Amino acid sequence: MTESLATPNAIGIHDAEVEHIFGLTGPLSASVKGYRPRQAQTEMAKAIADAIAGQTTLLAEAGTGTGKTYAYLTPALLWGGKVIVSTGTKNLQDQLFLRDIPTIRKVLKAPVSIALLKGRANYLCHYHLERTIQNGRLSSREDVGYLRDIGRFIKTTMTGDKAELARVPENASVWSLVTSTKDTCMGSECQYYQDCFVMKARKEAQQADVVVVNHHLFFADVALKDTGIAELLPSANTVIFDEAHQLPETATLFFGETVSTSQVLELCRDVLAEGLSHARDGAEWAKLVAPVERAARDLRLAFPQDIVRYSIDQIALSSPFFEALETLKSTMDEMIAVLEKQAERAETLEQCRARSILLAEQYEKWNAADDGKSGDYVLWVEAFSTSLQLHRTPLSIAPIFNKQREGVPRTWIFTSATMAVKNDFSHYVSQMGLWDQPARTWPSPFNYQEQGFLYVPNGMPQPNSYEYMDAVIDAALPVIEAAGGKTFLLCTTLKAVKHSAERLRDEFQKRGLDFPLFIHGDAGRTELLDRFRAAGNGVLIGSQSFWEGVDVRGDALSLVIIDKLPFAPPDDPVLSARIAAMEKKGLNGFVHHQLPEAIINLKQGAGRLIRDEGDKGVLMICDPRLISKPYGKRIWQSLPSFARTRELAEVQAFFKKIRNPG
C-alpha cells in the first residue's frame, strides 16, 4: 500500500488516478452494478486524496446521492496508510465492514486488511457467561431461553459479537449478565484471557490497515481509555468521521461525566453476592448494603415527577435532593471501609472495592465547590422512572477535541450530508473547534425541481397551540390518501408520535383506508423499516431516531411529513447554559445556535425522501413559521431545491401523475 506523502505541493498528485477509477471506463463502472460516474463524487474523492497527501484536515459536505462513502474509501484504501473510519451507528459500522469496504477493496485490488471494533458491551464474556449459567439468577423464562442460545453461540462464533446472534434481541436484559464492563473485567488475571473476544478484536484492530469504529467508541476512549482506540490512534495516518454532524452531540456526551443511582444499585447487588460467596464471616453483608440502596432510592425520590431535567441552579436549596446526596456519600464511605478490610479475600471483592471508590469519587466530584473549572461545565440532573443521573457536561467540546488532534500530523476528514447552513460551516466549525480548516460542499446530483415538492399547508395554527397536533393530522390525511400511504410522519416528540398514532388509527378505520401503521417503539428500528418496505403502502410514525440514517429507496416511500421545526426544547439545561454563555459574548443564542441546529436536523429529516435518481415525492412541513417568520427563508433555502407549493390540489395532482405517468 502506498504511504501518504506529506508535502505541501502534493495537491492534485492523485487526480489522474481518481479520474480513471471513477470514470466511464474505470474499475467502478466495470464492477459495481448500476454505477454511473458523478462529477461531485469524483471531485470529492480528489479533495480527500489531496488532504491525505498533505496530511491536512478537510470538512466535506456532500448532498444525498453524491456517493460519499466510495468517495472517501477509495483514496483512503489506496493512499491513507493506517486508517480509522468512524461512523454514526453500529448498523452503519456493520454496513461499512461487511459491504462497502470489501466492495471497494475488491474493485481496486487493494491489499488492505480490515477490522471491526465495537465497545466491550458488544462482545460476549466467557467468564460472565459461565458465572451466569452457574448462578442461574434469571428473572424470566424468556431470558433462560436466550441464555441457552448464547451458550450454543459462544461455541461456534469467531468474534463473540452479539450482532451475529439475531435471535436474541439487542436490548434483552440477559446481555448485561454475559458481557463485561470496564469495572467488571478481570483483565489479564482472567482464566479466559487468551480467548477473550474483546482482546482479540483489539489485537486485530491494531494489526489491520483499516479499522471501522463508531463515534461512541471513539469518544468514549477519550473519557474512559477503555475501548482500544488509545492504542490505535498513535499509529493512524488518516481518521475519517462519516455522519460527522453527530460528533458535537456524541463528544459532549463523553467529554462530560455521568453517574447514576442504578450504578450504585448494581454495585450493591454485586457486593452482597461476592461478600456472601467469599467472606460470609467478614461482615453482615445484607445490613451493610441496605442503607446504601435506600440512600440511592431516596436520591431518585427527591424528584417525585416521572421524567425531569434540572440544572443545579433550578433545584431549590430546600429540596430533599442535597441532603439525600450527602446521605448516599456517607453510606458509601461506610461500605468502602468494610470492603477495604475484606478485599484481599477474593479478586471479585477487590473489584467491588475499586468500583465503590470510583463511584464515590464521581459523586464527590459532581458538585465539588472547589473545582476551579466548574464554570466550563453545566451541572444537571435527569430523573428516569427508576433512576437518577447526575451529569457534568462541558459548555464547549472545542478545546477538549483540539487537544485530541494535537501531536502527530495526520489527516482528519469530517464528512456528512448536513454540516453547513446554506453552505456556511461556521456553526459546526465553532462547535468542533475546527477554525481555519478548509471546508467544501458538493451538491446532490438529484433533480429536486423535477423529483419533488415542498408543501407547506395553509391555515395552520401556531405550533405551541393546544389544537396543533390535530391540525397536523387533519392536513396530512388527504395527502397520505393521495400518496397511497408510503409515508413517513416524523415527529419532534414521543408524545406527538403517540397522539398521531391514535388519531391515524381511528381515521383510517373511519375512512376505510387500508394503510398498515408502523409506530416507533413497537419494534426495533431495523425491523420496523423492513416491515414498512415490505408493506409497500405503509405509514411509519417515528421520532428522532428516524430522522437520520434511514434509507428507503423506490416506491415504498413517497411522502415525508414533518410535524414542526425541530428546535431543541428551551428548558434543556445544557442548551440554556450554552445560550447564556454565548449571550455573555454578545452573540444571539437563537441565531447562532438554536437556528443552525434546527436547520441541520431538518435537513436530515428532509433527506429521507429522495434517495435515488428515480425517486419522486413530497416533503410536507406543517409548521407555519417556515413562511411567517423572518428566519423561515433561511431555513427553506438550506433545504433541497424542491418545487414549492401551498396548495393541496397541486400536491394531489403530482401524486396522480406519479401513479399514471402516461
The side-by-side arrangement of strands in the sheet containing 57-62 is 114-116, 210-214, 83-87, 238-241, 411-416, 57-62, 439-442
Per residue in 92-132, pLDDT (tens digit) is: 898 999 999 999 999 999 999 999 999 899 999 999 999 89
Q: For residues 237 and 116, what is the distance between their CA atoms, to the nearest angstrom? A: 18
**How far is the first Cα of the chain from the last one, in angstroms, to the nearest whole number?**
53
Write out the three cell numbers for 541.
410514525
Instruction: Write the pLDDT tens digit of every residue in 477-491.
Output: 999 999 999 999 999
Which pLDDT belongs to residue 3?
A: 38
Phi, psi of 417 (to 5 degrees): -85, -10
The one-letter code for the residue type at 580 is A
Alpha helices by DSSP H, listed for 452-546, are 468-483, 494-511, 525-535
Rounded to the nearest integer, the mean pLDDT of the chain is 92
Q: Where would I find the H helices in 512-661?
A: 525-535, 573-584, 589, 595-606, 625-628, 632-638, 648-659
State the Cα–Cα distance between residues 20 and 25, nearest whole angstrom.
7
How many Cβ atoms from other residues are within 10 Å of residue 99's Cβ?
Answer: 11
CA 186 to CA 348: how far, in whole Å?
Answer: 8
pLDDT at 229: 66
Residue where the block lists cell 459532581: 366
CA atoms within a 13 Å half-sphere pointing along the CA-CB vector of 460: 29
pLDDT at 263: 93
Gap between the Cα atoms of 355 and 349, Å rounded:
10
The SS3 assignment for 415 reads strand
Kind and range of the H or E element at 454?
strand 452-455
Give the pTM: 0.89
CA 517, CA 524: separation in Å to the nearest integer? 15
How far lies 245's CA from each of 172, 189, 429, 591, in Å?
Answer: 30, 41, 11, 18
Give the three-state DSSP class for 389.
strand
Tell me if 619 sits within 8 A of 488, measured CB to CB.
Answer: no
pLDDT at 367: 79
- What pLDDT does 571 receive? 80
Which residues does 657 contact at the CB level (< 8 Å), separation at least 6? none
Residues lower than pLDDT 50 in the chain:
1-8, 370-372
% of the chain residues with pLDDT over 90: 78
